[in-house]
Amino acid sequence: MEPEIMKETDVLINRIVSSQIYKEYRQSLEKVEQYPELKERLDSFRTRNYEVQTSMQEGASFEELDDLDREKRELTQNPLLKEFLAAELALCRMMQEVMDKLVVSLDFE
């Protein structure tokens, strides 16, 4: 890879890591990690959510989506998990915007 591109990639990474969004994500993750049972429950939810989201093209059932929605409502009743999920979503959205801008900016089919 071209050295200049790698250098600029490192700059982008450093800016993301120093962003308030990333800092809030890391802080909320550290809080959740202090409670292994909560972390395990959260990880289980996140895994199922990922599996359902990636299978949406294959036709995830409304029942699966309802179950996930119900579980998320239960999880977000815990302030630590609510804070973490909000921080994770903000980070994911930021990363998606970066990737979208990169892809849109290139003539890449």
Listed in sequence order, the residues at least 6 apart from 60 whose beta carbon sits closer than 8 Å to its beta carbon are 52, 53
Stretches where the chain sits below pLDDT 50 are none
Question: Which of 108, 107, 102 has its CA nearest to residue 5?
Answer: 102
pLDDT at residue 59, rounded to an integer: 62
pLDDT at residue 57, rounded to an integer: 58
Euclidean distance between the first and the last CA atom of the chain, given in angstroms as a whole number:
20
pLDDT at residue 81, rounded to an integer: 97
Give the pTM: 0.86
Percentage of the chain exceeding pLDDT 90: 74
Average of per-residue pLDDT values in the chain: 92
Question: Which of 30, 43, 31, 25 has its CA nearest to residue 88?
Answer: 25
